[in-house]
Chain A
Amino acid sequence: MSTTFLPCGTYHQNYSQDHAWWQTRFIKAKMALLFLILFGLIPWQADSYWLSVCNQIGYTVLGALGVQLLIGFCGQVTLGHAAFIAVGAYTSTLLILEFPWPAVLLEWGLAYPVSILIAAVIAGFWSVLFGLPSAKVKGFYLILTTMAAQFITVDFIISQYISQIGGRGQAFSLPPGTIKIGPWVVDSDLKVYLLMLVLVIISIIGVVNLLRSRVGRAWVAIRDNDISAEVMGINVVKYKLYAFFVAGFIGGLAGAFWISNLAAISPEHFQWFWSLWLVGVILIGGVGSIHGAIFGSVFMVVVMELLQLAIMPLADSFPKLLMDFLFIKEAVFGLAICAFMIFEPNGLAYRWWQMKNYFNLWPFSY
């Protein structure tokens, strides 16, 4: 969490300026431009394909944000985050499909938004349940207990029991028109995109705010040195569970959001590999940085899409490439992580930080 240097000649007069997010006019303009692109340019210029790529990125960001919080900020290595995303997705779906909503709520289109919130809270508590071992174990042992979360939740409870509700077999399908917020039916890539943006922005604001207040500092302290954190008056177990709750909460949001993009959800969407993928995303983006979760998600999703685009024309002459695309994707994923671990272990976020500092200090970098 090293801070970026301020541009030459910028001085703060009071502490609230130093605590602010966007401290100079230049940064404010930059962020305004970013929002303009996100809300003004992409939705109206991008075609449906690229919008769906953006949605994929947003989904990955939401997932990676929780993983980043646990691994990057609280030091609790997790390899079962897909379980909490699954809990969110299934809770939301089941609430929409099975819950006897009062007619008023249905009419006002509140079923989906309310279910998102409930799904996030339930996923949060589910995550706390599997975070309990963190009171006693750390490191490699914790990785195993979080993997247990994955297998117990998705492969056992969801596959064997939840999926059987209503006798539908493996997948739940959501009839068109059930995903609506107020009068606004989320039925196109554009609408999913806007929903995604709102959720991603809210989550990022929440996490960044937490990180600059008491709770977030306690998390980072636990990551850096849990013994002295405890001596400094932090209830380590409680704050670890807080971290699991918030991570699960955002995971639940991710899951509940993603059903708007899927016609049908099945346990296959939340396999263990997805948990691993999210960890890979933050390794590439940079551990211990919010930028890292975002950059990593953009990088991974875009690289995979480009890979697919590159393979398409070759598929005519080598049809096997297309068949084996899944394996190619996994190989590239592994390769990308290896390359980043060797050449830039601090991830993309670190490069970004260096770049900002370079320009902020230019021309007097000493």
Chain B
Amino acid sequence: MARQIGEVILDLQNVSLSFGGVNALIDISFDVREHEVRAIIGPNGAGKSSMLNVINGVYRPQAGEIILRGEHFRQMNPYKAASAGIARTFQNIALFKGMSVLDNIMTGRSLKMKANIFQQAFRTGVAKREELEHRAKVEEIIDFLEIQHIRKTPVGRLPYGLQKRVDLARALAMEPQILLLDEPMAGMNIEEKQDMSRFILDVNDQMGTTIVLIEHDMGVVMDISDRVVVLDYGKKIGDGSPDEVRGNPEVISAYLGASH
């Protein structure tokens, strides 16, 4: 399936966020088009993760608007964002440590499972059928990410790279339209990075998922993203194709330091 970048699906306008006196995001606007891979880069503390937290409603911005498929939101909340098809992974893996890989991924189906608590307690036909249907779907994702061998393992016992993959699997289980990835390759070795890049591109390509990605590895970012937005100290200092961004003098100075 050829990937066709579509219309703007998510548009952030003049978003500002502060914690007490610290301005985490200052008047930031950028858009994300359907089916594209959009990267957010910037030095540490630039406000990249805060940006994702604003998009899926963990943080409430003081100013600005979030426009999702033409619908205007002053602020999101996590439940609304999840219902609207926004999933995310976390920088410091936020898996459910006490649960198996399978259960972790199954939680990603929570919004789609409708059996009520009584049907579940008595495990009536509805609940049983639903559990099986969603298990089948989850198994597809497990196959896709090649983690069949660890499906029954408690996630706490897995090495870091696999935990990252389970985190991605859990997000994919939501069948999201927009997937926010917060440093999916941080702390990985080159092979793991290659695997993860491949998975991200496959998700984008095969499922048509729009991807917003934070990443520090410039090689990866330049290779896989369609457009890049650059933040520094909460301000947007660059936006465009990887090549444009690479040539932007402000970006260069933010990363390498300006000559005085």
Task: Note whether A and B form a binding pair.
Answer: no
B-to-A contact residues, CB < 8 Å: none
A-to-B contact residues, CB < 8 Å: none
